[in-house]
């Protein structure tokens, strides 16, 4: 039985996809409303498809280029198998397909939600959340299916389906990393490109429509209005989906890599149970079970009262979410107990092997679940309506845009305090419990509810769109009121979803970072080496520059949009009277093209920097392991700085947004009720303008930046790092004592110069011993003894040992 468990995640993933399909059919069967509603919805649907098609074309080119590069690498580097190319392509295709499912269902669900809201709020929630569920299960199901299927395939291909040794499994997992790289590449396009698209369309529509032509938001006469609505789906649905797809796959992969090293630390064999790969299977099993738990969780999300308010809707979502989290905790308990050896040995840096019980691994998963839950509350505190930080920004708006902006920036900056302490505590705790395997499993447990998180997340923009459609098709006020309730809850879940996404990206990157170190075989990343420290600086800088480029990209893309809208207002007769039809598709095309063009530079920065650090020093003949350590420093810099800038930008943006929204219901400033249209409100609008690219473009892009950086590192690792086709690095030594100086009467010194050949490269090392003559002689003896045997795993041949004592 326990040998069959390898197929369990596939079965669970397929079950999830079947449920998704059923749910999808159910949503599609719902009433899509009357003529005008349908027309608007169709425009959004077509616009979304247009973006996807354009994106796919660009993606296809990108995938071909990277595939060729990977193929060349697999030809040149003996440890990299060509199957990595296949895994890469499938990773990209699966992620794109998941995004496609999500976008399609989201753009079909919106109008059905509007229609349902005409009669019933519970039904409207049911449908909009149903759309979200389809999206969530599509992402989670395809992620687990793809990853597991490839793992089983590679496990059979490279190892014949039975445990042989750690090295073979390393090859399996290195090849599997291609799948993850493919998935994350799509995320780059979806999250960064999508983030630029959504804000460019938004700004473009507002600038010409609201400001120049003086027509309201979502007015069908505005040629950019469809692009604006498409943008919501592109950014919040497809972008978020691809982001979490990437995190999900990368987290599970990293946990598998570290599971393999647990087996290594235990002597390379843990017996027959679960084919001898229990620690490697565990993260996949948790992911699979998480899908089923998420399905159950989504079933709990419903309300019965047609007069329900925000708090009841939020309560329904919370019920489903918390139930999922608790069930995942229970499942982790069972799976850890069932699949792991009761006691494991794990190597801790500087502490040697430590006995770790399976229960400690379980506790580590609890840490992950805790972080996932708490980061949402932290995010909500700093960005939630009516919370102290927002009220403060509102107060500061009364003295102008300047103070509003300072206050918003400060809020975003201060919000890094609890968030980073939470992450730091989580790293520490999960590591103390079960090493980096614990860190990776904490991330895996947190990500197990991905389907549920995405359902909650995607429901927001669907409701937002539903409200927009209600407005555009001039429904009765009650319809808008109902969709507004859903939309308002959706705004909160959007902020907490961003918190979850950054937490997942942070933990994923850490797990990948740990996997990278073990892959390369370096003994840690020592920032006291100046080149490593220099790369830590460079890595820290990249997220800052990336953010700036992303923000500038929004500005440039928006200007192209503005020009097109102006042209249409000028050239199409009767457009303002409603008799001429605006060319929505041209606006969609322009912002599609502009956003994909503008994402090139930040994308290049993301991919280019790690490759330059890895390969340029190689041309100058630098030691590979030294390069690996530098690249590790770079990865750490990007991760630390990226997490900080993500939290800062997301929360500042969210805070400004809600400070502005506060004016809709009216706020009390200096004892006076203040509303929309006041000077303070205008200041808050300015703040929101700054916050928009923060929270929708550059902030969320950080997730991709840090994950992709660490994944590129992981894929490059075999080229840099510690093993060849046969096993570990081929290290040969030639040892000779160069000189032996006596300085003072009691101070002797001996310098041993030896040549170590690592992967065919000569590395000259020196070791110096000082002390009394007797001490130096003893040290030389010890050195001899140590070199005879201490590195036996690495040393293939010791060509010559000559020690001349004076």
User: How many Cα neighbours within 13 Å face the side chain of 806?
Assistant: 13
Complex with a copy of itself: residue 540 or 582, whichever CB lies closer: 540
Interactions with a copy of itself, residue window 733-772 (CB under 8 A):
743-744, 747, 749, 751, 765-768, 770-771
Q: Which residues contact 455 (CB under 8 A, 6 or more apart)?
A: 129, 132, 133, 135, 136, 137, 294, 298, 301
- Residue 214 in the binding site for a copy of itself (CB under 8 A): no
Interactions with a copy of itself, residue window 503-522 (CB under 8 A):
510, 514, 517
Q: How far is CA 319 from the centre of its chain?
A: 25
- Pick one of 147, 176, 207, 293: the residue that binds a copy of itself (CB under 8 A): 207
**90 and 182 Cβ atoms separated by less than 8 Å:** yes
- Residue 537 in the binding site for a copy of itself (CB under 8 A): yes
Complex with a copy of itself: residue 323 or 658, whichever CB lies closer: 658
C-alpha dist (Å) from residue 462 to 226, 268, 458, 459, 491: 15, 50, 6, 5, 11
Q: How far is CA 111 from the centre of its chain?
A: 30
- Residue 540 in the binding site for a copy of itself (CB under 8 A): yes
- DSSP-assigned beta bridge partners for residue 731: 758, 795
Q: How far is the CB of 768 from a copy of itself (least distance, A)?
A: 4
- Pick one of 555, 601, 607, 661: the residue that binds a copy of itself (CB under 8 A): 555
Q: How far is the CB of 764 from a copy of itself (least distance, A)?
A: 8
How many residues are recorded in the chain? 806
The runs of H, that is alpha helices, within 388-449 are: 388-397, 401-414, 416-447
- Residue 357 in the binding site for a copy of itself (CB under 8 A): no
- Coil/strand/helix, residue 344: strand
Q: How far is the CB of 418 from a copy of itself (least distance, A)?
A: 10
- Supply the DSSP symbol for 188: I
Complex with a copy of itself: residue 307 or 351, whichever CB lies closer: 351
Complex with a copy of itself: residue 416 or 662, whichever CB lies closer: 416
Complex with a copy of itself: residue 94 or 431, whichever CB lies closer: 431
**Residue showing tokens 């999830």:** 16
Q: How far is the CB of 554 from a copy of itself (least distance, A)?
A: 8
Q: Pick the closest to residue 131 from 455, 496, 533 (CA basis).
A: 455
Complex with a copy of itself: residue 686 or 703, whichever CB lies closer: 686
Exposed / middle / buried, residue 309 (Cβ in 10 Å: 0-12, 13-18, 19+): middle
Complex with a copy of itself: residue 52 or 640, whichever CB lies closer: 640
Q: How far is the CB of 331 from a copy of itself (least distance, A)?
A: 25
- The contact mask relative to a copy of itself for 460-499 (x = CB under 8 A, - = no) is ----------------------------------------
HEC states along 549-617?
HHHHHHHHHHHHHHHHHHHHHHHCCCCCCCCCCCCHHHHHHHHHHHHHHHCHHHHHHHHHHHHHHHHHH
Complex with a copy of itself: residue 7 or 537, whichever CB lies closer: 537
Would residue 118 be called left, alpha or beta, if left means φ above 0 and alpha means ψ between -120 and 50 degrees?
alpha
- Supply the DSSP symbol for 258: H
Complex with a copy of itself: residue 307 or 792, whichever CB lies closer: 792
User: How many Cα neighbours within 13 Å face the side chain of 227?
Assistant: 37
**Residue showing tokens 């994944």:** 711
Which of the ranges 75-83, 309-317, 461-469, 776-784 carries the binding residues for a copy of itself, by CB under 8 A? 776-784
Complex with a copy of itself: residue 69 or 741, whichever CB lies closer: 741
C-alpha span between 224 and 220 (Å, rounded): 9
Q: At what angle do helices 278-299 and 450-472 cross, to 10 degrees?
A: 30
- Residue 529 in the binding site for a copy of itself (CB under 8 A): yes
**20 and 137 Cβ atoms separated by less than 8 Å:** yes
- Pick one of 61, 75, 330, 545: the residue that binds a copy of itself (CB under 8 A): 545
DSSP letters of 27-89? Answer: HHHS----HHHHHHHHHHHHHHHHHHHHHHHHHHHHHHHHHHHHHHHHHH-TTS-THHHHHHH
Q: How far is the CB of 692 from a copy of itself (least distance, A)?
A: 9
Interactions with a copy of itself, residue window 624-683 (CB under 8 A):
626, 632-633, 636-637, 640-641, 643-644, 648
- Pick one of 531, 572, 661, 732: the residue that binds a copy of itself (CB under 8 A): 531
Q: How far is the CB of 246 from a copy of itself (least distance, A)?
A: 21
Q: How far is the CB of 675 from a copy of itself (least distance, A)?
A: 21
Label the pairing between strands 795-802 and 731-742: parallel
Interactions with a copy of itself, residue window 293-352 (CB under 8 A):
345, 349-352
- Pick one of 778, 797, 804, 806: the residue that binds a copy of itself (CB under 8 A): 778
Label the pairing between strands 795-802 and 667-669: unpaired
Q: Which two tokens stand for residue 145?
A: 């299916």
- The contact mask relative to a copy of itself for 234-273 (x = CB under 8 A, - = no) is ---------------------------------xxx----
- The contact mask relative to a copy of itself for 377-416 (x = CB under 8 A, - = no) is -------------------x--xxxxx-xxx-xxx-xx-x
Complex with a copy of itself: residue 418 or 580, whichever CB lies closer: 418
- Its sign, for the CA torsion 515, 519, 523, 525, is negative
Intra-chain end-to-end CA distance of the chain, in Å? 67
Which of the ranges 272-280, 369-377, 467-475, 541-549 carries the binding residues for a copy of itself, by CB under 8 A? 541-549
- DSSP-assigned beta bridge partners for residue 766: 753
- Supply the DSSP symbol for 7: G
Q: Pick the closest to residue 515 from 757, 161, 794, 250 (CA basis).
A: 250
Complex with a copy of itself: residue 127 or 716, whichever CB lies closer: 716
**509 and 702 Cβ atoms separated by less than 8 Å:** no
**Residue showing tokens 């919000």:** 415
Interactions with a copy of itself, residue window 113-172 (CB under 8 A):
none
- Residue 790 in the binding site for a copy of itself (CB under 8 A): yes
Complex with a copy of itself: residue 594 or 643, whichever CB lies closer: 643
- Residue 353 in the binding site for a copy of itself (CB under 8 A): yes
Complex with a copy of itself: residue 175 or 686, whichever CB lies closer: 686
- Pick one of 160, 524, 574, 760: the residue that binds a copy of itself (CB under 8 A): 524
**What stretch of H or E contains 763?**
strand 761-771
Q: How far is the CB of 513 from a copy of itself (least distance, A)?
A: 8
Q: How far is the CB of 641 from a copy of itself (least distance, A)?
A: 7
- Pick one of 534, 618, 757, 758: the residue that binds a copy of itself (CB under 8 A): 534
Q: How far is the CB of 787 from a copy of itself (least distance, A)?
A: 9
- Residue 551 in the binding site for a copy of itself (CB under 8 A): yes
Interactions with a copy of itself, residue window 685-704 (CB under 8 A):
685-690, 693
- Residue 725 in the binding site for a copy of itself (CB under 8 A): no
Query: How many chain residues are in contact with a copy of itself, going by CB under 8 A?
Result: 106
Interactions with a copy of itself, residue window 418-457 (CB under 8 A):
420-421, 423-425, 427-428, 430-432, 436, 439
Q: How far is the CB of 786 from a copy of itself (least distance, A)?
A: 5
C-alpha dist (Å) from residue 148 to 156, 461, 473: 12, 31, 46
């Amino acid at each position: 039985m326990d040998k069959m468990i390898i197929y369990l995640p596939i079965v669970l993933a397929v079950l999830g996809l079947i449920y998704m399909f059923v749910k999808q059919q159910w949503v599609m069967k719902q009433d899509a409303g009357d003529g005008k509603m349908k027309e608007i919805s169709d425009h959004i649907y077509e616009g979304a498809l247009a973006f996807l098609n354009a994106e796919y074309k660009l993606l296809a080119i990108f995938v071909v280029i990277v595939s060729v590069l990977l193929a060349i690498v697999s030809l040149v580097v003996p440890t990299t198998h060509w199957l990595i190319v296949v895994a890469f392509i499938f990773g990209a295709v699966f992620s794109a397909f998941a995004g496609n499912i999500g976008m399609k269902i989201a753009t079909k669900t919106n109008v059905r939600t509007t229609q349902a809201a005409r009669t019933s709020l519970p039904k409207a929630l049911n449908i909009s959340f149903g759309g979200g569920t389809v999206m969530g299960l599509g992402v989670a199901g395809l992620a687990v299916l793809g990853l597991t299927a490839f793992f089983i395939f590679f496990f059979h291909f490279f190892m014949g389906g039975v445990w042989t040794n750690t090295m073979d499994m390393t090859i399996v997992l290195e090849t599997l990393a291609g799948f993850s790289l493919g998935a994350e590449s799509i995320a780059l396009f979806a999250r960064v490109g999508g983030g630029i698209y959504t804000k460019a369309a938004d700004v473009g529509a507002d600038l010409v429509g609201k400001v120049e032509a003086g027509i309201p938001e979502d007015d069908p006469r505005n040629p950019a209005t469809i692009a604006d609505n498409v943008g919501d789906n592109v950014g919040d649905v497809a972008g978020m989906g691809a982001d979490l797809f990437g995190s999900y796959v990368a987290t599970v992969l990293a946990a598998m890599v570290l599971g393999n090293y647990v087996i290594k630390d235990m002597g390379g064999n843990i017996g027959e149970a679960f084919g001898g790969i229990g620690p490697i299977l565990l993260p996949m099993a948790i992911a699979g079970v998480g899908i089923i738990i998420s399905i159950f969780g989504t079933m709990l999300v419903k309300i019965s009262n047609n007069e329900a308010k925000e708090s009841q809707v939020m309560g329904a979502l919370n019920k489903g979410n918390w139930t999922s989290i608790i069930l995942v905790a229970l499942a982790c308990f069972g799976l850890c107990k069932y699949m792991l050896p009761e006691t494991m040995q794990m190597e801790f840096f500087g502490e040697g092997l430590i006995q770790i019980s399976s229960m400690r691994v379980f506790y580590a998963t609890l840490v992950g679940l805790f972080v996932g839950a708490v980061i949402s509350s932290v995010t909500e505190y700093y960005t939630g309506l009516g919370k102290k930080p927002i009220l403060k920004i509102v107060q500061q708006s009364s003295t102008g845009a300047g103070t509003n902006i300072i206050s918003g920036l400060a809020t975003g900056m201060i919000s890094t305090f609890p968030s980073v302490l939470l992450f730091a505590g989580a790293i520490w705790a999960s590591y103390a419990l079960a090493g980096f395997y614990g860190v990776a499993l904490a991330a895996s447990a947190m990500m197990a509810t991905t389907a549920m998180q995405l359902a909650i997340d995607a429901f927001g923009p669907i409701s937002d769109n539903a409200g927009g459609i209600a407005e555009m098709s001039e429904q009765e006020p009650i319809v808008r009121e109902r969709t507004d309730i859903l939309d308002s809850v959706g705004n909160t879940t959007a902020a907490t979803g961003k918190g979850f996404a950054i937490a997942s990206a942070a933990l994923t990157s850490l797990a990948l970072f740990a996997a990278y170190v073990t892959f390369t075989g370096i003994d840690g990343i020592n920032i006291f080496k100046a080149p490593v420290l220099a790369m830590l600086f460079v890595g820290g800088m990249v997220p800052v520059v990336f953010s700036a480029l992303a923000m500038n990209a929004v500005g440039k893309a928006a200007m192209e949009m503005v020009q097109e809208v102006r042209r249409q207002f000028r050239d199409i007769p009767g457009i303002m009277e409603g008799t001429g039809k605006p060319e929505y598709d041209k606006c969609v095309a322009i912002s599609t093209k502009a956003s994909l063009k503008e994402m090139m530079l930040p994308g290049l920065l993301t991919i280019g920097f790690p490759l330059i650090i890895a390969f340029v020093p190689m041309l100058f003949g630098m030691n590979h392991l030294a390069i690996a350590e530098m690249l590790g420093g770079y990865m750490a810099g990007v991760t630390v700085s990226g997490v900080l800038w993500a939290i800062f930008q997301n929360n500042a943006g969210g805070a400004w947004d809600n400070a502005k929204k506060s004016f809709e219901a009216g706020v009390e400033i200096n004892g006076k009720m203040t509303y929309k249209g006041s000077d303070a409100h205008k200041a808050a609008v300015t703040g929101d303008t700054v916050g928009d690219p923060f929270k929708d473009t550059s902030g969320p892009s950080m997730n991709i930046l840090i994950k992709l950086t660490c994944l590129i590192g992981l894929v490059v690792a075999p080229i840099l790092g510690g093993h060849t086709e046969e096993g570990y690095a081929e290290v040969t030594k030639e040892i000779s004592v160069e000189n032996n100086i006596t300085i003072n009467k009691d101070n002797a010194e001996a310098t041993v110069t030896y040549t170590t050949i690592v992967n065919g490269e000569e590395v000259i090392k020196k070791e110096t011993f000082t002390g009394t003559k007797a001490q130096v002689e003893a040290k030389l003896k010890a050195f001899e003894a140590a070199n005879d045997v201490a590195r036996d795993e690495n040393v293939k041949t010791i060509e010559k040992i000559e020690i001349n004592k004076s």
